[in-house]
Structure 1
């Protein structure tokens, strides 16, 4: 029996933080070695922060003109020189320029020696990813070339060249192959060919972003990959917020053997370094493979170039028995979080990591007393709960970051409220149209989570702006209920909403100074409370409180927001949330004489939130236009009461008209962590046009004609059926 101990490191990749990324890489190697691992891998995206460097190169040309040091090779040199890497096979990621072409590569190394460089062969280029803008795929299967090393590496290793290309590493006791992120998701993934060629250990370095309800799909794919092929599979995923603050990597790294999960790291962890290890008998792989239906294909598999490695990664049984660190790993069940737990953990990590990197003094939120802003308030409260959990578990990084952000070097916290009162300023911005019930709900919710709360009236600023407009245009607008036009009615609502944004930023900049906080003079980050369905529909005022520094709710549906509030009410024992769930949603922008507004009514928004979610998935995920959506919904909605072809046609036309009319708003959406597959944020995810002919004349006419003809056919069929019954 020969036993191998392998390690997977879950790390954040902070753009251009060469020193911090290096420190975390070395720490993960040290932890892996302490636990007896002889093979360590880590996440893909710029472990040496080079994917961001590649983006910057595209915009400024020669990076040496503005960022001469440190280069990724100098960071790699420090890893090579570190004695921790002795007797270990270490896999790290970085961009490599070979023959004037940039590749996203894995570098397999040990102490003062590089074995080979393996470029990525399939690049992610859909959804959130534009990898082909920064790198080129290696397009020469089973081919290696000579890479001439930089002087800083030659001085350490004594090597002038190393192989680069599609190859595998042969150690003294086994063989190791690389598969990088997107390659796993391709039909002919490299690990299949490598496994058929006898490679027993596959390392997969990934940066797979989080999406609600996505984790099970990803982990099942990895699990099935080794179940049909056999072998040891080491999957390392990144964690934390990416440099553009729209992607969240959620961790959940894994070590598998023959389709069974041996170890899994946590999801949405705040820990800067998390390492999992597993000790596995390599003979299990050999026995498993010889007994499954792979051998004929394996015998026919073309040879891979093999790079010789003088390391022995395994240990005999007696050494394992005598070791104090090694213990044979046993299969475990996959841990898949409930979607509401996912939202809680993801938002906590997003808000905390954004705050710690931006070094702001906290957050500011316009708390309206409605459901959306209440949800964002609970996101911040959830962040405080997670931070407190890490502090109580002895995590020195979380406590140090909290003390740095608050400016209190000796701070001790005992409850989440102790954290929230230092980091969250909420404000109810009332007008003459506001109700006492919303004001009361906002105040009591702020008190329950511990936020510092203000209650202000903004009528004077609205009156001042209206006076300026009246003077300039010699015109005084009126609400519709007072005899004004629709345009006047909308303008009078929007001036209220936009004043709230101006006031939010003004108060966020002065809050710490006015309150004489330890970090007086430092600004707060402004939070918006818009959700993904309203952004998709364009049901928001441009540059009102939907515009802020970050939008925690911006990629979460209204349906999920309601479900999260109900979940938090029970989990966190917050009965006040019932009032928010049962209240009728209203922006409170119209006079009381106009009647009670209901923002979720069809007459107000034109579509329900559930319908918006359906259209969002069909438009983005299914990639359907108006005609295709209409045909799909004819079938999907055929059993909805009162929904015939014309009703479906009306809904489709209404959605696409609103979508086209308000698409320009997507270009200025506040950045949100990407948690929804149909997020309309066009800065990264949705690159469709934003200037359309809003009446879609060809498509809408086709839909109307088809719906009318279909109604006639259905009526004729009904008449025939009735006639047959009478006969």
Structure 2
């Protein structure tokens, strides 16, 4: 008969430096794993400190506090009789490592440092940690004295290094996050040396359409090598731009048997499965080529543990049986936009203890998308409250300032915490004003409406008084310089008014506290620099700052039906416009006309520039093959040059970007993700000459043909 083991992994919403809160969530996950009958519990990467501590990882206090918290977990009565795989930073021989600490019944069995560090994109792990360079090598680590006093170890020395754990009935090996993504992942060598259970503790962030990559790597790891794979992940906003998207999973022999949620307001989620070790052994033994490699594979040091993972008393009539396989669950990109930024915003507002959010609602699709995401957040909170989530109810009472409030109705919650304002001028249309008002009413937001012409006129008049010059718009005969300056007056005054209203609207409603101002500039506008520095794109946080205009439109179409908001269709069919210039019978300002490129083209430029690492020359070559004959070589060259010109001259704007939810691989965020200079020669003269030469040769060849 089979050899059944019940194992648990989890999603935890940890918060950077929240040692006590992180400890309590770890303890709750251990209790829940035991309630589900698990003999092994795996947690996320750096779960004691929170993954996103950044330069706090350089502080010695953090390593001291990590061991102090670990000691409290170790001696807690609820942590007995289960193998614990817990993530924390450890200093060994004055070198900082990102580690897994493995224990059983208060005995620390081994410390396994991370071998391959994430050091690109959003990650800078080598700024804080050193990768363990010695494969299959173990050293002695002396436990801190106060840890020695609480642990059950006979010696103060524990193994530190690349080793595996041997229980009475199975062998367990350990990976950490990035190691799964490397070409020579540790699970390959471990599987050849007889390791049957692999754990992976991760701090992996959400990006649109990214989950399938992670899930396929997990599935393929066990399809190729055989074995049981337990993946744990952090979930939530732990203090920065990233949202860690959970989705803890258990796979065996290439099939998924358990999957946690990707987006949720639950701080602790444990998933478990019962698996048959004999199925792993049979799967491997049937592959002769794998057996031949295994027979010649170098060995890992094995640390022994007295625990047994499977009950010895299982019989045919036992209720213990293997968990069936299941299909992997993926959200559509539209659902990801509705859920990811909403969960991120809830974590942000509840942890900073603001009184809610404020959005300058323009009547355009970007601020509409921001408002709709806030409403999606309110729906999630209401659903969680209706399901009895006490933590969500407690947090909602703090945010609303009402100790008796139960957020069961999303529109009521939205009215309490979400404030919108249409900041109109003489350049605003009736359509945008009415769309803003109708959307606010549909979602329940507390809406205000104002005309700011007197404020704009006062600033304009001040300049005229000081200089004797009166700038006028281009449609009235003014220069491009005057036209831009007059637009920027309106845009920047909106930022000033946004912060004024965000601070005082709760006071007007008899509430304490202030509101978080939300930005609503999308990733494409930021890439092109089509925004005013320090205008209403400058805010506290921006839920759509990493999302393309194309995806935002698809999200609005989805949300119209998902949330029963017919008003959203009016935003979809409206022409995108900033409404910063006067409207005449012959002229209405259009974003795409102003930019000289479409939003779809901007998405293509962004991916080629960032993801495929293209400069102007290689971008032109790629687009020539993709866009001809729809466009001529000369037209493509002009578009590429125009994009890089405006990208370069506006790069300085990215240095002051509002912290945005990271959702897209081509985000131009200069503060964390896209480390390029902000003073660049916008002509790219060398590349431009090479492009011109190719265009000329193609034209010559065309004439000859």
Which range, TM-score by smaller chain? over 0.9
TM-superposed deviation, 1:328: 2.5
The 8 Å contact of residues 600 and 609 in structure 1, kept in 2 or not, is answered as: no
Counterparts of 2:340 and 2:355 in 1: how far apart (Å)? 21
Counterparts of 2:595 and 2:532 in 1: how far apart (Å)? 13
Equivalent residue for 1:610?
A: 600
Equivalent residue for 1:48?
A: 48
The 8 Å contact of residues 263 and 277 in structure 1, kept in 2 or not, is answered as: yes
1:526 lines up with 2:517 in the alignment: yes
TM-superposed deviation, 1:306: 0.8
Equivalent residue for 2:340?
A: 346
Counterparts of 1:178 and 1:432 in 2: how far apart (Å)? 64
Counterparts of 1:712 and 1:704 in 2: how far apart (Å)? 12
The 8 Å contact of residues 362 and 424 in structure 1, kept in 2 or not, is answered as: yes
Equivalent residue for 2:103?
A: 109
1:269-321 Cα offsets, whole Å, 9 max, x none, are 11000000101111111111101241111111001111111111111362695
The answer for unaligned runs of 5 or more in structure 2 is none
Equivalent residue for 1:268?
A: 263
1:257 lines up with 2:257 in the alignment: no
1:552-585 Cα offsets, whole Å, 9 max, x none, are 1100000011111111112222211111111112
Equivalent residue for 1:307?
A: 303
Equivalent residue for 2:685?
A: 697
Counterparts of 1:113 and 1:697 in 2: how far apart (Å)? 65
Counterparts of 1:27 and 1:572 in 2: how far apart (Å)? 33
Counterparts of 1:318 and 1:425 in 2: how far apart (Å)? 59
1:225-250 Cα offsets, whole Å, 9 max, x none, are 10011001100111001322x11111
Of 131, 137, 141, which aligns to 1:137? Answer: 131
Equivalent residue for 2:164?
A: 168
Counterparts of 1:54 and 1:74 in 2: how far apart (Å)? 20
The 8 Å contact of residues 583 and 589 in structure 2, kept in 1 or not, is answered as: no
Equivalent residue for 1:722?
A: none
Which residues of 2 match residues 660-679 of structure 1 at below 5 A?
660-679=648-667
Equivalent residue for 1:11?
A: 12
The answer for unaligned runs of 5 or more in structure 1 is 718-727
The 8 Å contact of residues 43 and 85 in structure 2, kept in 1 or not, is answered as: yes
Which residues of 2 match residues 51-450 of structure 1 at below 5 A?
55-56=55-56, 58=58, 63-64=60-61, 71-157=65-151, 158=153, 159-244=155-240, 246-292=241-287, 293-316=289-312, 318=314, 322=318, 326-450=320-444
TM-superposed deviation, 1:472: 2.5
Counterparts of 1:495 and 1:659 in 2: how far apart (Å)? 23
Counterparts of 2:586 and 2:577 in 1: how far apart (Å)? 11
1:640-679 Cα offsets, whole Å, 9 max, x none, are 2xx1110110010000001001000111111111100000
The 8 Å contact of residues 481 and 594 in structure 1, kept in 2 or not, is answered as: no
The 8 Å contact of residues 6 and 278 in structure 1, kept in 2 or not, is answered as: yes
Of 461, 482, 487, which aligns to 1:488? Answer: 482
TM-superposed deviation, 1:594: 7.6
Counterparts of 2:316 and 2:382 in 1: how far apart (Å)? 38
Equivalent residue for 1:473?
A: 467
Which residues of 2 match residues 488-527 of structure 1 at below 5 A?
488-517=482-511, 520=512, 522-527=513-518
TM-superposed deviation, 1:474: 2.4
Runs of 4+ in 1 over 6 A off after TM superposition: none
The 8 Å contact of residues 50 and 238 in structure 2, kept in 1 or not, is answered as: no
1:82-112 Cα offsets, whole Å, 9 max, x none, are 1222221100011110011000000000222
TM-superposed deviation, 1:347: 1.8
Counterparts of 2:234 and 2:56 in 1: how far apart (Å)? 21
Q: How many residues align?
A: 701
Counterparts of 1:94 and 1:186 in 2: how far apart (Å)? 22
SS in 2 for 1:235: strand
Counterparts of 2:668 and 2:614 in 1: how far apart (Å)? 14
1:27-51 Cα offsets, whole Å, 9 max, x none, are 000000111100000111x211165
The 8 Å contact of residues 175 and 201 in structure 1, kept in 2 or not, is answered as: yes
Counterparts of 1:63 and 1:125 in 2: how far apart (Å)? 22
The 8 Å contact of residues 139 and 159 in structure 2, kept in 1 or not, is answered as: yes
The 8 Å contact of residues 32 and 40 in structure 1, kept in 2 or not, is answered as: yes
Counterparts of 1:82 and 1:693 in 2: how far apart (Å)? 61
The 8 Å contact of residues 585 and 597 in structure 1, kept in 2 or not, is answered as: no
SS in 1 for 2:402: coil
Counterparts of 2:52 and 2:526 in 1: how far apart (Å)? 28
Counterparts of 2:68 and 2:32 in 1: how far apart (Å)? 23
Equivalent residue for 2:621?
A: 631
1:612-658 Cα offsets, whole Å, 9 max, x none, are 00000000000000000000000011142xx1110110010000001
TM-superposed deviation, 1:596: 3.7
Counterparts of 1:499 and 1:623 in 2: how far apart (Å)? 37
Deviates more, 1:229-238 or 1:699-708: 699-708
TM-superposed deviation, 1:63: 4.2
Alignment TM-score, normalising by the size of structure 2: 0.97
The 8 Å contact of residues 3 and 316 in structure 1, kept in 2 or not, is answered as: no
SS in 1 for 2:98: strand
Counterparts of 2:477 and 2:338 in 1: how far apart (Å)? 46
Counterparts of 1:54 and 1:706 in 2: how far apart (Å)? 46
| Structure 2 CA distance for partners of 1:120 and 1:611, relative to 1, 3 Å | same
Equivalent residue for 1:592?
A: 583
Deviates more, 1:577-586 or 1:424-433: 577-586
Equivalent residue for 2:528?
A: 537
1:367-397 Cα offsets, whole Å, 9 max, x none, are 0111111111100011111111111111111
The 8 Å contact of residues 167 and 305 in structure 1, kept in 2 or not, is answered as: yes
